[in-house]
Copies of this chain bind each other. A is one copy, B any other.
Amino acid sequence: MPDTSTPDSTGLPRIPAYEPTERTVPSRARQRASYDHETVHSILDAAYLCHLGFIRDGAPVVLPTLFGRVGERLYVHGSTGSRPMRATGAANPGLAVCLTVTHVDGLVLARSAFHHSMNYRSVVVHGTARTVTDPEERRLALDAIVDQVVPGRSQDSRPADAKELAATAVIRLDLDEVSAKIRTGGPNDDPEDLSLPYWAGVVPLTHGYAAPEPSGDLDPAVQVPDYLTAL
């Protein structure tokens, strides 16, 4: 990562950014790529689900899983018996992973089938995931994963006990080799297609939360907490 604390030759403060690498520069649509911390963080923080890729027996595996961000670190947890967690175990030099987060914001319909597209925001992180063993960092990571889903929830639930902690593996992936990719706007039809009789534009997608459904065995005295109402 470059030193991001000093002004550049323009005299203006540098925008903190990840150093592009051969694998974080896209092979096409490079103008959609972004490396600045703020863009990457905001896309990650709007999500709690990622798709984690790793290699098992020589073949790729992609699994959906929760994650949490703490500064320049991402955390993923899992059962100590699960495959990615075993592969990053203490006897192991870490696991090469690719962690991808995607938001789809709209369907882009062009007159031509070829120019159909999506509006989206995505982040792809490459690196080596390592098992976290420090008890304090494990606690911090588990809280971060819960709070990534529902901010504030970690402080309003029973923390993991010793047995639960022993059954839970936590892995860490540093934000170092990372890029964002963003598409916005309408279709990019070829000029000669503009008069074709097909509808063209964007269908925005909506994502929201329905009313919380209390568990059947919940004490009726327990109210819906403010952090859920705020979602």
Could you tell me which A residues sit within 8 Å of B by CB distance? 23, 27-28, 49, 51-64, 66, 79, 81-83, 96-100, 102, 104, 107, 109-114, 116, 118, 120, 122, 124, 126, 142-143, 146, 149-150, 153-154, 156-161, 164, 168, 186-187, 189, 193-219, 222-225, 228, 231
Q: Which residue of B lies closest to A204 (CB)?
A: B210
Contact of A59 among B64, B126, B150 (CB under 8 A): B126
* A214 and B204 alpha carbons, distance in the complex (Å): 11
* A173 and B213 alpha carbons, distance in the complex (Å): 39
**Do the beta carbons of B203 and A215 come within 8 Å of each other?**
no
Copies in the complex: 2
Given known pairs A28-B82, A160-B112, A200-B218, the reply for A98 and B210 (CB within 8 Å) is no
**Do the beta carbons of A62 and B62 come within 8 Å of each other?**
yes
Q: Which residue of B lies closest to A54 (CB)?
A: B60
* A190 and B51 alpha carbons, distance in the complex (Å): 29
Chain B hits for A224, CB < 8 A: 199
Contact of A223 among B28, B199, B200 (CB under 8 A): B199
* A218 and B142 alpha carbons, distance in the complex (Å): 50
Given known pairs A53-B98, A158-B111, A186-B216, the reply for A64 and B120 (CB within 8 Å) is yes
**Do the beta carbons of B149 and A107 come within 8 Å of each other?**
yes
Q: Which residue of B lies closest to A59 (CB)?
A: B96
Contact of A55 among B55, B114, B231 (CB under 8 A): B55
**Do the beta carbons of A64 and B206 come within 8 Å of each other?**
no
Chain B hits for A150, CB < 8 A: 107, 109, 203
Which has the most chain B C-beta neighbours within 10 Å: A82, A168, A217?
A217
- Give the distance to chain B from A36, nearest Cβ to Cβ, in Å: 20
* A132 and B164 alpha carbons, distance in the complex (Å): 48
Can you list the 3 inter-chain pairs with the closest CB atoms, starting with the nearest? A53-B62, A51-B51, A53-B60
**Do the beta carbons of B202 and A168 come within 8 Å of each other?**
no
